[in-house]
A = this chain, B = another copy of it.
């Protein structure tokens, strides 16, 4: 994402983006497909196909990206059969879900406050 909003020309192929962060072009394409569905980037197919930001960096928050790529929750709680005679076993999941919802919200609120522009500014400052 930062690669798209930052460099000299701001449209990139999946191969170029993959090289810059040392991953595979396929992974980039899968990720871009998600970002594209979320309306954060746009893509062009065909020869000279590229990706570019669909919005101004200032308008894209890390929370937008987090949601778009459907990253895992900060915490998750596994399911298991309840041990009936034990009240802890039966209700712990609900209690933790409730508590950790708060934490998840704090986490997301923090991401929402950081925009792609902030990240780019920090990169350029070097």
Which residue numbers of A lie inside 8 Å of B, CB to CB?
A: 2-3, 6-7, 19-23, 62, 74-75, 80-81, 83, 86-92, 94-96, 98-99, 102-103, 105-107, 109-111, 113-114, 118-119, 122-124, 126
Contact = CB atoms under 8 A, between A and B. Distances in A.
A45 to B, nearest CB: 24
13 contacts: A19-B83, A20-B88, A21-B83, A22-B80, A22-B83, A23-B80, A87-B123, A87-B124, A90-B126, A91-B123, A95-B119, A102-B114, A106-B110
A109 B74 CA distance: 14
Contacts of A123: 87-88, 91-92, 95
Contacts of A62: 99, 103
Contact of A94 (B23, B122, B124): B122
Q: How many copies of this chain does one complex carry?
A: 2
Contacts of A89: 3, 20-22
Contacts of A75: 74
